[in-house]
Every structure is written in structure tokens, then in C-alpha cells.
Chain A
Amino acid sequence: MRPQDLKYTKTHEWVKVEGDTATIGITDFAASHLSDLVYLDLPEVQDSTTAGKCFAEIESVKAVADIYAPVTGEVVAINAEAPDDLEKISRDPFGAGWLVKIKLAKTEELRDLLTVEQYEKFVEQESKK
């Protein structure tokens, strides 16, 4: 059920690459694990991101979580509706709940991301913990 054409991270972000731009969101696993979302803080357009560094914050009734940039680059678009309509993220994390688009600075970083099979194996292990 998770999209086959996306790349994933162990911190539960997804990446969709189109040309030199990557669309980023959080996975269904992250959205359901957080549940009851109350707040989302996104970067601004033109902000730069560094792979592995926190670039956004999401908060639920129970907890606050950092969202990590899967790739290095520059933010070229944000989903401005998402912070006011967090349901988008819980209901459609891979679609309407996307967060930002990043212009890739280091395409070689994409090699470090997980395939859907690798991510699913990782989530399975996480759930057993």
C-alpha cells in the first residue's frame, strides 16, 4: 500500500524525485504513530536544508517530533495549507499531506535512501520493539 516509486528514511520521511526536485512528506507510519496532530512548523521557501538535519517540527497531543531533511538543497515550495489542515497529513500522508519541495544540491544522497521494501522491513522491526 505504500507507494513503490518513493524513497524512504529511517526517520519516517518519504521522498519523491522528479527531475532535480524532491517532494518530501512523512510516512503513514509516522502519521499514525503521532496521531492527534495539533501543530506543524514548516521552513520557508528559499531556506536551505541539510540531509539528516531537522528542518520542520510536528506536534501531536502527546508528543513533539522533529522532521529531518532526507536531502540537502533549497526549499522551493511548501504545502501552505497543511499547517492549518493537519487532517491532510493523517488522511493522505503520501498525497495531499506533502510538506515541502526541495531543489536537490547533491543527487548522490538519493543513493542512501531506502527502497519501499527496505523501509517496510525496517518498520516491521520497529513495531516489534
Chain B
Amino acid sequence: MHETALHDEHVRAGARMVEFGGWEMPVQYTSILEEHLAVRQRAGMFDLSHMGRYAIRGAGALAALERVCTVRVASISPRGIKYSLLCREDGGILDDILVYNGSLVTGGTDEYSVVVNAGNRKRDFDWIETACRQHGATLVDRSSDVSMIAVQGAKSVEMLERLADVDLDALAYYSLSPGIVAGESMVVSRTGYTGDDGFEMYVPTPAVKRVWSRVLDAGRPQGLVLAGLGARDSLRTEAGMPLYGHEIGLEVNPFEARLSWAVDLEKDVIGRAALAAIKERGALRRIAGFVAAGKRIPRQGSAVFSGDRRVGEVTSGTRTPLTDRNIGMAMLEASISVVGTVLHADVRGDREPIRIEKLPFYSRHRRPGAAKEEAAARAKPA
């Protein structure tokens, strides 16, 4: 099993280590729910070095990326970032990635970068490299040279900006900047996977332990905690964000996953014909959010029924400490996937009622009145 450069720091901090995508990673340091709440109320720091970080260089870099990415890469401004999917010819999703118009080493715009899921590193590399070869570009694996840390949460700006020589508060959402943070040169991006404000830091691996402990020491008095993959999973579920192997995968297309906003069919991307046909026909099933009425959490693989008819299955399930409800997402027949519908999930042999609810469950940009609506909805039996 692979280990990140911060492995020993996790063990020393008392983390419970688990296997994830071929990597030994901290699932939790204290309690998943405590770490989750700390991010929502203060901030949490995550080691994300298990993810893949690749640079795309050369004259054909843009063309190669346009071929594999479902978003229009040419529209990403210098030092800008976009979420994209990689799709197969049949429209199935190979991975979801972030595309950076800039280097994760220098922040310079002489190369593009992509950040991919840990479990798909090898396959994504081969997939993108094929396009690079065809278009005269070079794919470079930066994953070992550059480590990756995220600081996420309501107070992440105030915690990090005191340690930075760049104005992190002024850094636009989904953009990057080179800078010195905690005494080390790095690239910082205002991105994340928790639904809260925050940053991802690309740190030269020889310096990553120093950055990790300096940021933690500086942030602790303000309530910064170490957070593991358990909290990361419950945070992204609460934020309604898909995870590869759950809401998305080879057998799922972007329209089913409600990711059509990340698909531009006015370009020659792999999978274009199939995606156009699916868009024309309309998705037959869709990801929906649900709240479970019972105390048990419906988990991935639980069958969902409308009466006696099976209408889909749960893709993710967790507990949200914000409202102490059991929530999740499910892939359901499109006609069933309507907010307010009550269905039943098979939870280890028992049928438990679930109600379809609007995604996300949490948004830091709250609609006016959203809290009241939620309270009113909770008062009704699901």
C-alpha cells in the first residue's frame, strides 16, 4: 500500500488509518462527526496527497485536454480552474477532475494541470497521455514531487491569510496563486470538496511536513482540527457533491449524475456523439438527495422501492451532524426523482421510509428562508 509524505504525522496524531484507492490514509483522528462540525464551524486540515497531480505541457496541451475534458478548457482564464469529467466514447464517466490553467509547481501559465481521484490515477494517466501523444503534448506526473493539503471551513481564510504573503481573501473562487504560506513556496487554489470556503495547497514534498505542522500550530488556537477521509465523505455528501464509485462511474453518464453543467457538446470531446444522444433522449434515471426517517443509515447498494417496485439504489449515505438526520443520495428512475416523494430503502432487510429532498443539504450560500423551509419539512413525518 502507498503512503503519503505525511503518513507518520497521521499515525503520531492518533489517526485510524484505512486503505483508500490503494493508499493508507487517515479516516478519522477523533470522531467523524466532530471533525465534520469543526469544518462547518471553524476549519479542518486534510492530507489529499493520495490524489493524482499531472502537468500537461507543450504546444498541443490545450488540444489534448479539449479532447478528453467535457468542459471547454480554452475558456479557463490564466490561473483559473474548472471542474470537468473524463468520459468514454459511450458517455460513461471515467473520472471527475479539476483542470488548472497553470502549474502546480510554479503557478506559471506555461502548463496546464489536472488533479484526479486516487483510485483512478493510473487509468486517467494512460487516458490523458494517449490524447497528449496524438496532439503533441507531454503528460508529467507531479504526484510525488508535489504534495497536497486542504484547509477547509468557515474560518479557513482568516487562519491561512496570517501565514501567507499573498492576499488569500482576494483570491477568487476556483483560481490559483503562487505564494509563500507558513514559510514555504507553494501554489494555493481556492477550491475544495466540502461545500465550505477553503483552499488546496500544492506543496513541494520535502517541505510538506513543515507546512502541515506550522499551519496546525498556528490554527489550533482558533479551532483548526485535523480531519480525515470520513469527515471529507460526510461533508461532500451533505454538500451534494458526487464521489467516483458512488454517484458517478463507468456505468453512469453526466446527465444521470446531474452534471450536465460540466458538459459542453460544442467541441470535439471523446464521447460527444453518445452524450448528445443521451441529452436528446433525456436521462432515464437521476441522482436525488434523500432524508431517511429512521435511525439507521441507508448505505450504498441499498435497493430503493416505490411500493413493491424497485426504482433504484442508494449511492451514498451518512449522518449529518448539522441537523442530526440520516441523509444520502440515490440513483432513481427519473420520473420518481421528485422532491417530496416518499420511497422505501431496504436497510439490511427492513424497509425504511426515505423522502426525496433537494440537493444540496448544505450550502454556505444559503437561500433566504432555507432554514425555515427545512425546519418546516422536518416537522412533517417523512
Inter-chain contact B326/A38, CB cutoff 8 Å: yes
Of A33, A35, A59, which contacts B297 at CB under 8 A?
A59
Is A36 in contact with chain B by the CB < 8 A criterion?
A: yes
A123 and B348 alpha carbons, distance in the complex (Å): 29
A59 and B295 alpha carbons, distance in the complex (Å): 9
Which A residues, 19 to 73, have Cβ-Cβ distances below 8 Å to chain B? 33, 35-36, 38-39, 57, 59, 61-62, 64
Inter-chain contact A36/B319, CB cutoff 8 Å: yes
Is B275 in contact with chain A by the CB < 8 A criterion?
A: no
Segment touching A, from B27-35, B133-141, B170-178: B27-35
Inter-chain contact B31/A36, CB cutoff 8 Å: yes
Is B267 in contact with chain A by the CB < 8 A criterion?
A: no
A83 and B31 alpha carbons, distance in the complex (Å): 19
A61 and B326 alpha carbons, distance in the complex (Å): 9
Inter-chain contact B234/A39, CB cutoff 8 Å: no
| CB<8 Å pairs between A and B, sample of 27 | A35-B28, A35-B31, A35-B32, A36-B31, A36-B32, A36-B33, A36-B319, A38-B295, A38-B319, A38-B326, A39-B295, A39-B296, A39-B297, A57-B348, A59-B296, A61-B32, A61-B33, A61-B230, A61-B234, A61-B297, A61-B318, A61-B319, A62-B27, A62-B28, A64-B299, A64-B348, A83-B295
Of A39, A59, A62, which contacts B32 at CB under 8 A?
A62
Closest 6 CB pairs of A and B: A39-B295, A39-B296, A61-B32, A36-B33, A36-B32, A61-B319
A126 and B31 alpha carbons, distance in the complex (Å): 20
Classify the secondary structure of B's interface with A. mixed
Q: CB-CB < 8 A to B297: which residues of A?
A: 38-39, 59, 61
Given contacts A36-B31, A39-B295, contact A62 B230 (CB under 8 A): yes
Q: CB-CB < 8 A to A62: which residues of B?
A: 27-28, 32, 230
Which among A36, A38, A39 has the greatest number of chain B C-beta atoms within 10 A? A36
Which among A35, A39, A62 has the greatest number of chain B C-beta atoms within 10 A? A62
Q: CB-CB < 8 A to A38: which residues of B?
A: 295-297, 319, 326
A84 and B234 alpha carbons, distance in the complex (Å): 22
- Taking Cβ atoms with an 8 Å cutoff, the residues of B that contact A are 16, 27-28, 31-33, 230, 234, 295-297, 299, 318-319, 326, 348
Interface size class of A (residues with CB under 8 A): 10 to 19
Classify the secondary structure of A's interface with B. mixed
- Taking Cβ atoms with an 8 Å cutoff, the residues of A that contact B are 33, 35-36, 38-39, 57, 59, 61-62, 64, 83
Known: A36-B319, A38-B295, A38-B296. 20 other contacts (CB 8 A): A33-B16, A35-B28, A36-B32, A36-B33, A38-B319, A38-B326, A39-B295, A39-B296, A57-B348, A59-B296, A61-B32, A61-B230, A61-B234, A61-B297, A61-B318, A61-B319, A62-B32, A62-B230, A64-B299, A83-B295
Q: CB-CB < 8 A to A36: which residues of B?
A: 31-33, 319
Q: CB-CB < 8 A to B348: which residues of A?
A: 57, 64
Residue of A nearest to B34 (CB): A36
Output the least CB separation between B192 and chain A (Å): 21
A61 and B299 alpha carbons, distance in the complex (Å): 10
A61 and B27 alpha carbons, distance in the complex (Å): 12
Residue of B nearest to A86 (CB): B295
Q: CB-CB < 8 A to A83: which residues of B?
A: 295
Q: CB-CB < 8 A to A57: which residues of B?
A: 348
A61 and B230 alpha carbons, distance in the complex (Å): 9
Residue of A nearest to B324 (CB): A38
Output the least CB separation between A86 and chain B (Å): 9
A101 and B299 alpha carbons, distance in the complex (Å): 31
Which among A59, A61, A62, A83 has the greatest number of chain B C-beta atoms within 10 A? A61
A86 and B88 alpha carbons, distance in the complex (Å): 46
Residue of B nearest to A59 (CB): B296
